[in-house]
Amino acid sequence: MRESKEEKLALLEAALFVTEKPLSAEELKRFLGVTEEELRNLLSELKRRYDSNDSGIELLELNGYKLAVKAAYSQRVARFAKHTELSRGLLRALSLIAYYEPMKQSDLVRAIGNRAYEYVRELERMGFIRSEKFSRTKVLRTTRHFKEYFGIRSKEDLRDVIKANSES
């Protein structure tokens, strides 16, 4: 039985909703049994629907496709997420690194104290940041995993997350 466009759109939305990692165009084409052009049309339609209403969800294209909470709402709903393993201190350290990146570890220590060393180790373990030796300190940067996890594509998205978090 051949599915209608609406059924394919619903299947696409459901697949993007349940995945934790972005799905590639190839995976989606195989899953839906569609051509490249049909997939582009379905993705465009889904994006249009999420962009046209006041949804808290958006379609992201970061090494594939996935649905994510819009940056402006992510901190306010984070407590309901399955993987809320970031303590307030870790989140503060990560926010500073993301906002000021590239950031020297010594500057982070000055901003939040000696626990910064522990936070850096944990954030590296979680894959949210990477560090590079620089003279007697390290330079800290966020990773692609950080951007995908929080749905951040730009500094503006990051500012929205920080602003939403400070208002709640």
Rounded Cα distance between 51 and 44, Å, is 10
Q: Is 57 helix (H, G, I), strand (E, B) or coil?
A: strand
Rounded Cα distance between 151 and 67, Å, is 9
Q: What is the DSSP letter of 139?
A: E
Domains defined along the chain, listed by start = 5-69 (1.10.10.10), 76-167 (1.10.10.10)
Report whether pLDDT(86) > 80. no
Element (H, E) at 104: strand 103-104
> How buried is 142 (Cβ within 10 angstroms: 0-12 exposed, 13-18 middle, 19+ buried)?
buried
Could you tell me the pLDDT band of residue 72, with boundaries at 50, 70 and 90? confident
- pLDDT score for 82: 59
Of 85, 103, 18, 25, nearest to 61 by C-alpha is 25
Q: What is the DSSP letter of 127?
A: T
